[in-house]
A and B are shown apart, each in its own frame.
Chain A
Amino acid sequence: MSTDETYEPVIGLEVHVHLLTRSKLFCGCANSFGAEPNNNLCPICAAMPGVLPVFNREVLEIAVRTGLAAHCEIALRSVFARKSYFYPDLPKGYQISQYEAPLCVGGYIDLPINGKTAKRVRLVRIHIEEDAGKNIHAADGSLVDLNRSGVPLLEVVGEPDIRSAEEAGAYLRELRDILCYIGASDGKMEEGSFRCDANVSVRRRGEEHFGVRTEIKNLNSFRNVEKAIAYETRRQIEKTSSGQRVLQETLLWDPDKEATRPMRSKEFANDYRYFPEPDLPPLIVEPELIERVKRAMPELPAERRARYIDQFALSPYEAEVLTSDKELSECFESVLKSGAPDLSSPPPSAKLAANFLITEALRQVRAANRPINDVFNATDIRGLLSLVEGKKISLNAAKTVLPELVLGQSSRGNPHLAQQPGGARFDAEQVVRRFGQVSDEAAIAAACDRVISAEPAKVAEYRAGRNQMFGFFVGLVMKAMGGKANPQVINEVLRKKLAAD
């Protein structure tokens, strides 16, 4: 990404997070994605006359957990407010939100960059609000789906502490990871359960005042957030440096054109007329709840990263990749821990497991586009890597076997899966039979001798100093052994034998 020497962007993000609750914020309707339109609906979330909101207590604990995970101060008394505007997907004509007195105040997110805390982004607040429904525009008119109406959201408002598109991406990923770790959200940006608006302005480096900012909406993927911010930064720098003025406006990101465009004024010109929601009493948080949530706080991404570096001696990069996905890191720990190793092999080392998961397993996970738990059984990977660790098979053999361990495929005809009650499981004996590695020094030495006596000219060349020919001999020996010899043993034996005489 190009950085400008004269100007720097100032970026603040507002993130809306769908909470993983069973029911909606103010009624008993299911909070679930993907139902038929207007199926998760009742008089309350359809705003029929006379109905009243009732706060879902399930939301409070999740919101408090989020606030504590983001180092916020939890307000013992917060107040719901009405935010008024007309739109067909907003059935009451106002959204119940929190305004003057939010639940969580302050706080911060530390961004990991190469394992170090490279940047702290402060938070203004985190508050509870309800989502609107969805307008669906068809050729012959518009339809309204209120399934999402009243779904609980947290709005996480960040200070304008971010200084690049990459930092914005890192912030969003860290926030998403935290929310996933604490079970607050599924973090799915594409499904709209994790949404982001970006406020961007530019200023001369060293300047203290902020420039005129624009707000970018419709950012529905991490890539789009970064692209849109980079685009908007360039656009504003071009304007400013050519003496033009940046207008304070709301922009839409067009992912096809990869450009921002102004929203029509009607799309946002609102005086929201906030006032305290008279249908709901103030939200009171008992200090005991905060204590209980604190005690039950699961390990957060930053803590897990530090532990991986500390406990498993992983590199910051490895720790970051593994912890960036809660399920991946859980799989990693299962690979190290679960079950008895097969064929009395030692359990895989952390380094081996980390590398194998980051490179090989993740490739399969991405191809399948499913969570790792749906793609692999951690016990299978553990068994496979135990064979590598015990030098029963080579790493390359493990890489060859891995795609066959992807779950959901038939085990019939698959030599590495033994049909078991409860699903297919990795069959170590089969793998060893096929890829079993010969580490027997005598057998390898015999093969080496055969190769050396068959290639006197090449041996002479090598001995005359052409060291780079070593690999050629290794290849011949490996071929002679049908590819199953332990390469390390070949190396040792061959080096000795070639050096002799």
Chain B
Amino acid sequence: MADDLSKLTITQTRSLLRSGKISAVELTRACLDRIAKVEAQIHAFITVTADEALRQAAAADKRLSSGHAPPLCGIPIGIKDVYCTAGVRTTCASKILANFVPPYDATSVARLRAQGAVFVGKANMDEFAMGSSTENSAFGPTMNPHDLGRVAGGSSGGSAAAVAAHECLASLGTDTGGSIREPASFCGVIGIKPTYSRVSRYGVIAYASSLDQVGPFARSVRDAATVLAAVAGVDPMDSTCSARPVPDYEAALTGDVKGLRIGIPKEFFVKGMEPDVESSIRAAIKQYESLGARAIDIALPHTEYAVGAYYLIATAEASANLARYDGIRFGPRAEASTLAELYSQTRAQGFGAEVKRRIMLGTFALSAGYYDAYYVKAQKVRTLIRRDFDQAFTKCDLILTPTVPSTAFRLGEKVNHPLQMYLSDIFTISVNLAGLPGLVVPCGYDSLNLPIGLQLIGTAFGEASILRAGDAYERSGAISLRDAVV
């Protein structure tokens, strides 16, 4: 029974919790048992907070019995270790924050906490969210629950794997260039990156401020909608956070896609894409047509420049965002005889190779004499990409693409080929540059039983529309989710 509880969706659990058929403590224990059983193989978490989770669950049970419990009360949730959690170590998967215990909650964490959610642990990730495989974690990689020899994707690999391996019912990740959507696709779960500014970034340790966005992983589109609704909305602590009211996402899930115009960008069906991926996506398009939607060919002509522009803008912002890790106020400090040495040694010892690579890239892009050629030009490309989408959305209501050209690759396969690794995000990055929402829904498995995800891209603040389309696809029963191998 315990194992079965951890496999339920939030929606299924909610009625059981409310009717008193199960308790939050039982549900939490089921997840903690599952964690104890699979973590040695999956390594989805950097820190597991079992005691705290049981305390939260007990408190949630009290609220549930009072009859006035919010939707996520008593639901076990994993939190990417990029979110500050009051009193719980927050490492960003970096040695430089290995012992950092924030005195504050990120806004999203505080909102989940206010609903009575249960936090089972801090999920593994690429260091400072820089990577596409979670192999850049200072605490070791996360394994794909569908094939332990393969990566879970990244940077939110731990959050995706934890949900796929039933270690929690949902989780929070962050997405700067695909860090929710790529691991969702690799692990066969639902992941949504909302519109930039839809969810507060306060307390989320910054990688690239103009691109970072908070979003959930879940095992159903409805669950993802529930978690997103809990965290979205204006926050006085984040000046870039939108004041637009948050629509009722669950109410938007009508299952009706009749007449929906789905744009299919030709630039996203590239040479070198795995045939199983392409055929799954084509099948999903057919499925939508059978549900009454229309597929429309569209063009996003500047797509090929997205990866280049992203690696200039994101790294430029990162080079400044990561300057605060200097060994002065928190974190380890290297022995040094001069101030310059203190900085260079602390940072040399504290950061991993990929983080250093991106800091150097960004520092270069902002340097006197190069700023116009790199940073400014990248911003111009960003504008062009935004216009591509504006143009496309005059013809369609949402855009359907593959999420990644491949399924999960082998551990170690790309660690020494950063450029190949960067291309894992080729289909997701332009969405961040344009600030749009993107939802990933599993749409099949390849011949190796590895998950494939489709990506639905919406207009700005069009989360309800892509969630409705994703839910309609899910309900149509086109595929059924397969269990993890562990």
Partner of B323, one of A50, A52, A94, A278: A94
Pick from A49, A88, A271: contact of B368, CB under 8 Å? A271
Contacts A91-B328, A279-B240 given; indicate if A273 touches B367 (C-beta within 8 A). yes
Query: Cα distance A73–B8 when bound, in Å?
Result: 62
Contact among B205, B317, B326, B339 with A50 in the assembled complex (CB-CB below 8 Å): B205
**Residue in chain A with minimal CB distance to B92:** A49
A32 vs chain B, min Cβ distance (A): 21
- Measured CB to CB, the closest approach of chain A to B126, in angstroms, equals 16
Query: Are A278 and B210 in contact, CB atoms less than 8 angstroms apart?
Result: yes
CB of B316 closer than 8 Å to a CB of A: yes
Residues of B within 8 A of A274 (CB): 366, 371
- With A88-B339, A273-B367 given, is the CB distance from A49 to B238 under 8 Å? no
**Distance (Å) between the CB of A43 and the closest chain B CB?**
6
The secondary structure that dominates the B interface is loop
Could you tell me the distance between the alpha carbons of A43 and B101 in the complex, rounded to whole angstroms? Answer: 12
In the complex, what distance in Å separates the CA atom of A211 from the CA atom of B446?
72
Known contacts A275-B320, A275-B366, A275-B371, A144 near B84 by CB under 8 Å: no
Cβ-based interface call for A297 (8 A): no
* Chain A residues within an 8 Å CB radius of B368: 271, 273
> B68 interface residue, CB < 8 Å from A?
no
Pick the contact of A49 from B84, B317, B371 — CB < 8 Å?
A: B84
List A residues 87-115 near B (Cβ within 8 Å). Answer: 88, 91-94
Inter-chain contact B323/A92, CB cutoff 8 Å: yes
Residue numbers in A under 8 Å from B84 (CB-CB): 48-50
CA distance A370 to B240 in the complex (A): 45
Known: A82-B320, A91-B324, A275-B316. Is A50-B102 also a contact (CB below 8 A)? Answer: yes
Q: In the complex, what residues of B have CB within 8 A of residue A278's CB?
A: 208-210, 240, 317
Closest to B322 in A: A93
Using a Cβ–Cβ cut-off of 8 Å, how many residues does chain A contribute to the interface with B? 29
Instruction: Give A51 to B324 CA distance when docked, in angstroms.
Output: 11
A150 CB to nearest B CB, Å: 13
List chain A residues, Cβ under 8 A from B205: 49-50
Which B residues between 217 and 237 are near A, CB-CB below 8 angstroms? 236-237
With A86-B343, A92-B323 as contacts: A51 and B203 at CB distance below 8 Å: yes
Cα A256 to Cα B57 in complex, Å, equals 67
Residue of A nearest to B343 (CB): A86
B117 sits at the interface (CB 8 A): no
The residue in chain A whose Cβ has the minimal distance to the Cβ of B90 is A49
| CB neighbours of A93 from chain B (8 A) | 320, 322-324, 326
* Interface check A287, CB cutoff 8 A: no
Is the C-beta of B202 less than 8 angstroms from some C-beta in chain A? Answer: yes
The reply to whether A273 and B324 contact each other, CB–CB distance below 8 Å, is: no
Residue in chain B with minimal CB distance to A53: B239
Residue A281, interface by CB 8 Å: yes
Residue in A92, A266, A271, A273 with the greatest tally of chain B CB atoms within 10 Å = A273
Q: How far is the CB of B235 from chain A (nearest CB, A)?
A: 9
**B209 neighbours in A (Cβ, 8 Å):** 278-279
Say whether A84 faces chain B, with CB atoms less than 8 Å apart. yes
**Minimal Cβ-Cβ distance residue in B for A27:** B237
CB distance from B130 to the nearest CB of A (A): 15
B326, A86: Cβ atoms closer than 8 Å: yes
Q: How far is the CA of A88 from the CA of B237 in the complex (A)?
A: 25
A449 smallest CB distance to B (angstroms): 88
Residues on A with C-beta less than 8 A from B324 are 47, 49, 91-93
Give chain B nearest CB distance to A485 CB in angstroms. 74
Which residues of B are found within 8 Å of A462, using beta-carbon distances?
Answer: none
Q: A280 an interface residue at 8 Å Cβ cutoff? A: yes
Question: A279-B240, A281-B240 in contact; A91/B316 too (CB < 8 A)?
Answer: no
A52's partner among B83, B202, B320, B322 (CB-CB below 8 A) is B202
Within 8 A of A (CB), among B194-214: 201-206, 208-210
B329 A54 Cβ-Cβ under 8 A? no
Q: What is the chain A residue whose CB lies nearest that of B82?
A: A50
Q: Is A222 an interface residue (CB 8 A)?
A: no
| Chain B window 69-92, contacts with chain A (Cβ cutoff 8 Å), 1 for yes, 0 for no | 000000000000001100000101
Is B288 positioned at the interface, with any CB of A under 8 Å from its CB?
Answer: no
Assembled-state Cα–Cα distance A53/B329 (Å): 18
Complex: A49 Cα to B89 Cα, angstroms? 12
Q: Which A residues are CB-close (under 8 A) to B319?
A: 84, 273
CB-CB under 8 A from B206, the residues of chain A are 49-50, 279
Closest to B344 in A: A86
A95–B106 Cα distance when bound, in Å, is 23
**B393 interface residue, CB < 8 Å from A?**
no
A281 touches B239 (CB 8 A): yes
The answer for the CA separation of A453 and B305 in the assembled complex, in Å, is: 114
* Chain A, residue nearest B330 (CB): A48
1/0 contact string of B292-329 vs chain A (CB within 8 Å)? 00000000000000000000000011011011111011
Please measure, in the bound complex, the distance between the C-alpha atom of A416 and the C-alpha atom of B17, giving whole angstroms. Answer: 84
Say yes or no: B323 contacts A144, CB within 8 Å. no
Residues of A within 8 Å of B202, CB to CB, are: 50-52
Residue-wise interface mask of A (256-273) relative to B, using a CB-CB cutoff of 8 A (1 in contact, 0 not): 000000000010000101
A55 within 8 A of B: yes
A196 is an interface residue with CB less than 8 A from chain B: no
Q: In the bound complex, what is the Cα–Cα distance between A396 and B340 (angstroms)? A: 66
- The reply on A46 being an interface residue by CB < 8 A is yes
Which residue of chain A has the shortest Cβ distance to B338 in the bound complex? A266
Closest to A280 in B: B239
B351 at the interface (CB under 8 A from A): no
CB of A50 within 8 A of CB of B106, answer yes
Known contacts A92-B324, A266-B340: A46-B92 contact under CB 8 Å: no
Chain A residues contacting B203 (CB-CB under 8 Å) are 50-51
Contact status A84-B323, CB under 8 Å: yes
Instruction: Tell me which residues across on chain B come within 8 A of A84, comparing CB atoms.
Output: 319-320, 323, 366
B208 / chain A contacts, CB cutoff of 8 Å: 278
CB proximity of B236 to chain A, nearest CB, Å: 7
Q: Judge whether B456 is part of the interface by a CB distance below 8 angstroms.
A: no
A128 shortest CB reach to chain B, Å = 14
Query: Once the chains are docked, how many angstroms separate the CA of A48 from the CA of B330?
Result: 8
Task: Check B97 for interface membership: any CB of A closer than 8 A.
Answer: yes
Question: Which residue of chain B has the shortest Cβ distance to A49 in the bound complex?
Answer: B205
User: B473 near A: Cβ within 8 Å?
Assistant: no
Beta-carbon contacts under 8 Å, A29-78 to B: 43, 46-55
Which residues of A line the B interface, CB within 8 A? 43, 46-55, 82, 84, 86, 88, 91-94, 144, 266, 271, 273-275, 278-281
Q: List 7 A-B contacts (CB under 8 A).
A: A50-B90, A50-B202, A50-B204, A84-B319, A84-B320, A271-B368, A278-B317
Other A-B contacts than A48-B84, A50-B205, 19 sampled, CB-CB below 8 A, are: A49-B90, A49-B92, A49-B206, A50-B90, A50-B104, A50-B106, A50-B206, A52-B239, A54-B237, A55-B239, A84-B366, A91-B324, A92-B320, A92-B324, A274-B366, A278-B210, A278-B240, A279-B206, A280-B239
9 smallest CB-CB distances across A and B, nearest first, come from: A93-B323, A278-B209, A273-B366, A278-B210, A50-B203, A49-B205, A50-B84, A47-B324, A50-B205
